[in-house]
Amino acid sequence: MITALNNLPALILAGGRSSRMGQNKADLPLAGKTILGHVVDRLAPQVISIVLNAPEAPENIRGLRLVPDLRPGQAGPLEGVLAGLFDLQAQDTDASHLVTVPCDSPFLPLDLVARLEADAGPETIAVATSDGRTHPVFALWPKSIADDLEHWLVDPDNRRLRAFLDRHSTVYVDFPILDIGGEMLDPFLNINTPEDLALAKRFTEALR
Cα-based distances in Å from 79 to 13, 56, 97, 152: 10, 15, 17, 11
The model's confidence at residue 166, banded by pLDDT at 50, 70 and 90, is: very high
In a domain, 4, yes or no: no
Instruction: Report how many domains make up the chain.
Output: 1
Whole-number pLDDT of residue 1: 52
Whole-number pLDDT of residue 106: 97
In a domain, 183, yes or no: yes
Rounded Cα–Cα distance for residues 32 and 89 (Å): 36
In a domain, 23, yes or no: yes
DSSP-assigned letter for residue 4? P
CATH of the domain at 59: 3.90.550.10
Whole-number pLDDT of residue 55: 78
Residue 23 and residue 58 in contact, taking contact as beta carbons nearer than 8 Å = no
DSSP-assigned letter for residue 37? H
- Identify each DSSP E strand in 16-124 by its residue range: 29-30, 33-34, 49-53, 65-66, 97-102
In a domain, 152, yes or no: yes
> Is the full-model pTM beyond 0.85?
yes
In a domain, 47, yes or no: yes
Q: Determine the structural domain holding residue 33 and report its residue range.
A: 9-207
Whole-number pLDDT of residue 77: 93
Rounded Cα–Cα distance for residues 163 and 148 (Å): 13
Q: Residue 166 — φ and ψ, nearest 5°?
A: -65, -20
The distance of Cα 122 from the centroid of its chain, to the nearest Å, equals 20
* Per-residue pLDDT tens digits for 48-106: 999 999 877 666 666 899 998 888 766 689 999 999 999 999 998 899 999 999 999 99
* Per-residue pLDDT tens digits for 101-110: 999 999 999 9
Rounded Cα–Cα distance for residues 54 and 13 (Å): 7
In a domain, 88, yes or no: yes
Q: Smallest Cα–Cα separation from 103: which of 47, 45, 33, 38?
A: 38
In a domain, 174, yes or no: yes
Q: Smallest Cα–Cα separation from 60: which of 75, 83, 38, 43?
A: 38
The model's confidence at residue 20, banded by pLDDT at 50, 70 and 90, is: low
- Identify each DSSP E strand in the chain by its residue range: 9-13, 29-30, 33-34, 49-53, 65-66, 97-102, 125-130, 133-142, 170-174, 178-180, 183-185
Residue 21 and residue 192 in contact, taking contact as beta carbons nearer than 8 Å = yes
In a domain, 1, yes or no: no
